[in-house]
Amino acid sequence: MSETVLEVSGLCRTFGDVRAVDEVSFTLPAGGSLGIVGESGSGKTTTARIVVGLEEADAGSVTVRGRRREGRARGKAERLTRAREVQMVFQDPYLSLDPRYGVQDVLRETLRLHFPDADPAPRVAELLDQVGLGTRAAEALPRQLSGGQRQRVAIARALAVEPAVLVLDEAVAALDVSVQAQVLNLLADIRERTGVGYLFITHDLGVVRCVTEEVIVMRQGRVVEAGRTEAVLADPQHPYTRLLLDSVPRPGWEPSLIAAARREVG
């Protein structure tokens, strides 16, 4: 049985009168892939930000590799330790890449920060090869790259510290469909080779179907359905999950049908 690398238990987060995350719990095994699905405002991104450490929970716990995180990171050493445990890839990599640094420099700086005594050159070459970037892309600035190439850089930077968990927050949503497929295939290959666990945050059930083994469905901060991805998508038990599936455009799709489904859910 695979080791549990991430355990989230009873997570709660409130913003004013809004309960953004309400008693959310799940586990992720080493090398596993879990999807968190829901429309905007469902609480999925807030959950991800708490897991990474960008938000602090009001209640509940996050345990990574058997080490429970207590409150905010205290001091540089603790911040670096947490960063080596969990990394995040955002929807728009251009906003998270320094426009002044070339691809190789971005990776070198990350490696120097976390592994100051090691020569970064071999690892930089390994990472570039891992995400399928050649010499020309390696020397380019972010603005000189395509959206798919920039996302590959963001993935390489996240993998540089060898995290146990990689959180992907709508990481392919801004890409063209053909580029999405390339990046998803790349992620599947990386997971197989490295054993990193994936936490996919998405509203796209096609992505969930392709790359996750387990899925939880969130609505208004709560988990309304959870299980094996194939089983949940084939036979959803909750009306909200059925609504999400019915909302996927397909031949014969009519907006009026979605409006009727929303009234059913309430």
The predicted-structure confidence for 93-144, as pLDDT tens digits, reads as follows 777 788 899 999 999 999 999 999 999 999 999 999 999 888 788 889 989 9
Same domain, 179 and 245: no
Decide if 251 is inside a domain. Answer: yes
Same domain, 251 and 200: no
Same domain, 69 and 8: yes
User: Cβ distance 41 to 50 under 8 Å?
Assistant: no
Same domain, 200 and 264: no
User: Cβ distance 153 to 76 under 8 Å?
Assistant: no
Amino acid at 89: V
- On the question of pLDDT at 251 being above 70, the answer is no
Decide if 247 is inside a domain. Answer: yes
Same domain, 30 and 87: yes
Same domain, 22 and 53: yes
| Alpha carbon separation from 128 to 39, 49, 87, 135, 266 (Å, rounded) | 34, 27, 18, 9, 48
- On the question of pLDDT at 86 being above 50, the answer is yes
Q: What is the DSSP string of 86-109?
A: EEEE-S-HHHHS-TTS-HHHHHHH
Decide if 81 is inside a domain. Answer: yes
Once rounded to an integer, what is the mean pLDDT over residues 147-154? 90
* Pairwise pLDDT comparison (134 vs 148), residue with the higher score: 148
Task: Residue 250: give the domain boundaries.
Answer: 240-266
Q: Strand 59-64 to strand 67-68: parallel, antiparallel, or no bridges (unpaired)?
A: antiparallel
Decide if 108 is inside a domain. Answer: no
Same domain, 253 and 179: no
Same domain, 167 and 89: yes
Number of other residues whose CB lies within 10 A of the CB of residue 141: 15
> For position 124, what pLDDT does the model report?
93
> For position 263, what pLDDT does the model report?
45
Decide if 109 is inside a domain. Answer: no
Once rounded to an integer, what is the mean pLDDT over residues 143-154? 90
* Predicted confidence (pLDDT) per residue in 178-225, tens digit: 788 888 888 999 999 889 999 999 988 888 888 899 999 999 999 999
Same domain, 249 and 194: no
> For position 260, what pLDDT does the model report?
42
Residues 199, 168: Cα–Cα separation, whole Å: 6
Same domain, 23 and 92: yes
> For position 253, what pLDDT does the model report?
37
Q: Which helix (H) or strand (E) element contains residue 200?
A: strand 197-202
- On the question of pLDDT at 261 being above 80, the answer is no
* Range scoring the smallest mean pLDDT among 42-46, 67-71, 86-90: 67-71
Same domain, 259 and 167: no
> For position 45, what pLDDT does the model report?
93
Report the CATH number at residue 179.
3.40.50.300
Q: Read off the pLDDT band of 255 (50, 70, 90).
A: very low
* Range scoring the smallest mean pLDDT among 14-28, 29-43, 65-79, 123-137: 65-79
Among residues 76, 75, 82, 133, which one has the least CA distance to residue 107? 133
Residues 107, 246: Cα–Cα separation, whole Å: 42
Decide if 214 is inside a domain. Answer: yes
Decide if 94 is inside a domain. Answer: yes
Once rounded to an integer, what is the mean pLDDT over residues 150-174? 90
Decide if 225 is inside a domain. Answer: yes
> For position 240, what pLDDT does the model report?
92
Output the CA torsion 168→170→175→178 (10° steps). Answer: 70
Same domain, 13 and 91: yes
> For position 24, what pLDDT does the model report?
97
- On the question of pLDDT at 264 being above 70, the answer is no
Q: Read off the pLDDT band of 249 (50, 70, 90).
A: low
Among residues 78, 173, 115, which one has the least CA distance to residue 124? 115
Residues 149, 186: Cα–Cα separation, whole Å: 12
- Say how many domains are in the chain: 2
> For position 123, what pLDDT does the model report?
94
Amino acid at 200: F
